[in-house]
Structure 1
Amino acid sequence: MLIEIWADVVCGWAHIGKKRMEKALAAWQGEPVTVVWRPFQRDPMAPAHAEPLERTLSDPIAEDALRACTPPGLSNADNRARVAEEAAAEGLGPQWGAEWRPNTLEAHRLIALAYEQGGAELQDRVVERVLNAHFVEVRDIGDPSVLAGIAEEAGLAAAARFDAPAPRPGAELVRELLLTGKAKGVRTSPTIVANGLALEGAQPPEVIREFLEDASRHTPRRLPAEVERLRHAESLLDQRDPLGALTLLRPLMDEHGDDRGVRLLAARAYFGSAQLNRARAALESLVAESPDDSYARHLLGRTLQRQGRHEEAAVHLAMAAAMTPDYTP
């Protein structure tokens, strides 16, 4: 069974959750499991160069970002006090606690590469090292030199290439994974996903074991990878992230560019991101192939409207409304 842990490495609950997952699995007697760490960013606007966390705590915008790692019902201040107590109870050390606000994209890139290069076991060691660097050693894990040292210890220096210009290996993979997590509905760190079920937060080991038992009995419908990617892109569109949707659609457009569903979803994403010429070209092709597709015709009319081509738009909007009265203005 595949267990995905979607988490940010600057979230204290993720460090605690890792220890609790290890305790849960130590007593696990079910089917073999593989634990994979997936990226989540609670603070995507963190600066490229880390700043002292104390300064962050006085910034209302940054303070709001911390809520992605705060359990419901707790203020950020209460959460910080509670997470420190829980960390001590888990044996993470009396000096546990972060002092930096780093951007975690590069740390996530290293963690993703660790899985690609050496599987779950190597990734677990890298995650542990990154978490310890941030919370125990109080180092800046946004600093490439800190991460390069961890990569060197793990035998990943050549793969991670921290001395190379951007974009570095694994950067696109991390971007896609972040979008996939968003499409799946991951909203907090950590979130455990197994067999289509999700468990939010750093739950006690016995709760994690019960969750895994439920997941092991759950048999979700397995979809082809292309269909799953298409659904994730559609989810991002529903969440008003058309550029994210286009990122996930790009491989499908390259490999299945003739598929009508892919083309229509891409046209919607072009429209949503105001790439109106691309939207119009895609929709004109779809309408020419299927003149009775009222939705494609309606969207083409709206695209032409936004381009100021009102006479052309009126024809398509009227035809769409005649076929589907719900499209009547």
Structure 2
Amino acid sequence: MRIEIWADVVCGWAYIGKRRLEAALADPAFDGVPVEVVWRPFRIDPTSPARSTPLEEALADPAVDNALRVCAPGLSPGENRTRVSDIAAAEGIGPRWGAAWRASSHDAHRLLFLAHEHGGAELQNAVAERVMRAHFVDGADIGDRRTLAAVAAEAGFADGAALLETGAGEDEVRELLLIGKARGVATSPTIVVGDRALAGAQPAEVIREFIARGGHRRELPDEVERLRHAEALLDRRDPLGSLVLLRPLLDAYGDDRNVLMLAARAYFASAQLGRARATLERLVGDTPDDSYARHLLGRTLQRQGLAEEAAPHLSMAAAMSPEYD
């Protein structure tokens, strides 16, 4: 059984959720059941600066203060930190609790990805534990690669520091963040088994019951999975993210009509009208009776200020499909 944890390592609930998942998996019901726990990236603070700032200084920023209040309605950031600290202590995390830095978790996510690539789930889990302990218990700056180098060494990932310096994992982590968004992940942590998801650091017994029910996720070819994720991002109003996932498909399957149509829609939605027009003209040229492609071409030409050129395409699309009238 594969269990995915979509989480941010600077999220206290992710660390608490890790402990609760471990408690759930310690249940005798899972004895002898092969379980692989894989960490996937999520960002709760995507605007955090590349260079870390002391947390007390960051909390003076009204935007940060407001964001924290949204996370815990009715509590001040200080009250919420006390609450989370008490819960962490109850889960055996400590003795001290409390981050000291507002740090970008991007490089930490790269380190986790690389740990899984080079050492599998067990090494990745060891790195995740040490990264979160460094951030929440030791008060270290995990936005600093020197901290991550030490963490990697402690976890037994000897090549981790050197790999980070090469930029390895950069594209993969950015894609995984988009895939998480496409799959509807919106909370850290979110535990996924098959096609089922459990949001939040739920109590161990809730997690145990969730895992026990299992889940099935139909295996699809990588190309089909990527296309579906790209379409989901477009549906979620992220055309630029959609195009990031589409790029390898455009390179490898540039003649595939489904790939081209989705790219045209993403170009149109992101106001890349020249690219949208070129792609749609190709599609209409190949299949003149495709009413949707012709309609979208007409709308693209309209947005380019070419009303006369747009008119025949819009008229033909309306004649073929009344919905475009």
The TM-score by the shorter chain falls in which range?
Answer: over 0.9
Instruction: Measure, in 2, the Cα distance between the counterparts of 1:183 and 1:248.
Output: 10
Instruction: Measure, in 1, the Cα distance between the counterparts of 2:122 and 2:23.
Output: 16
SS of the residue corresponding to residue 6 of structure 1 reads strand
Offset at residue 285 of structure 1 (A): 0.6
Offset at residue 191 of structure 1 (A): 0.3
Q: What aligned pairs does 1:51-200 form with structure 2 within 5 A after superposition?
A: 51-66=53-68, 70=71, 75=75, 77=77, 78-156=79-157, 158-161=159-162, 164=165, 168-200=167-199
In structure 2, the CA distance between the partners of 1:76 and 1:193, relative to structure 1 (3 Å rule), is farther
From 42, 45, 51, give the equivalent of 1:43.
Answer: 45
Contact 1:20 1:202 in 2 (8 A): yes
Query: What TM-score comes out, normalization by structure 2 length?
Result: 0.93
Offset at residue 151 of structure 1 (A): 2.5
* Runs of 4+ in structure 1 over 6 Å off: none
SS of the residue corresponding to residue 94 of structure 1 reads coil
State the match for 1:297 in structure 2: 294
Query: What TM-score comes out, normalization by structure 1 length?
Result: 0.92
Instruction: Measure, in 1, the Cα distance between the counterparts of 2:20 and 2:171.
Output: 31
State the match for 2:200 in structure 1: 201
Offset at residue 243 of structure 1 (A): 1.0
Which stretch shows the higher mean deviation, 76-85 or 156-165?
Answer: 156-165
Contact 2:107 2:164 in 1 (8 A): no
Instruction: Measure, in 2, the Cα distance between the counterparts of 1:9 and 1:159.
Output: 17
Instruction: Measure, in 1, the Cα distance between the counterparts of 2:296 and 2:313.
Output: 9
Offset at residue 79 of structure 1 (A): 3.6
Instruction: Measure, in 2, the Cα distance between the counterparts of 1:114 and 1:14.
Output: 18
Q: Is 1:281 the counterpart of 2:278 in the alignment?
A: yes
Contact 1:113 1:159 in 2 (8 A): yes
Offset at residue 155 of structure 1 (A): 4.8
Instruction: Measure, in 2, the Cα distance between the counterparts of 1:64 and 1:212.
Output: 35
Offset at residue 244 of structure 1 (A): 0.5
RMSD across aligned positions (CA): 1.9
Instruction: Measure, in 2, the Cα distance between the counterparts of 1:53 and 1:128.
Output: 21
Instruction: Measure, in 2, the Cα distance between the counterparts of 1:179 and 1:298.
Output: 29
Contact 1:43 1:65 in 2 (8 A): no
1:85-138 per-residue CA deviation (whole Å, 9 max, x = no partner) reads 100101112311111100110000001000000000000110011001000100
Equivalent position amino acid for 1:260 in 2: R
SS of the residue corresponding to residue 60 of structure 2 reads coil
Instruction: Measure, in 1, the Cα distance between the counterparts of 2:159 and 2:12.
Output: 30
SS of the residue corresponding to residue 187 of structure 2 reads coil
Contact 1:160 1:169 in 2 (8 A): no
Equivalent position amino acid for 2:274 in 1: N
What is the aligned residue count?
A: 322
Gaps of 5+ in 2: none
Instruction: Measure, in 2, the Cα distance between the counterparts of 1:238 and 1:147.
Output: 36
Offset at residue 2 of structure 1 (A): 0.9
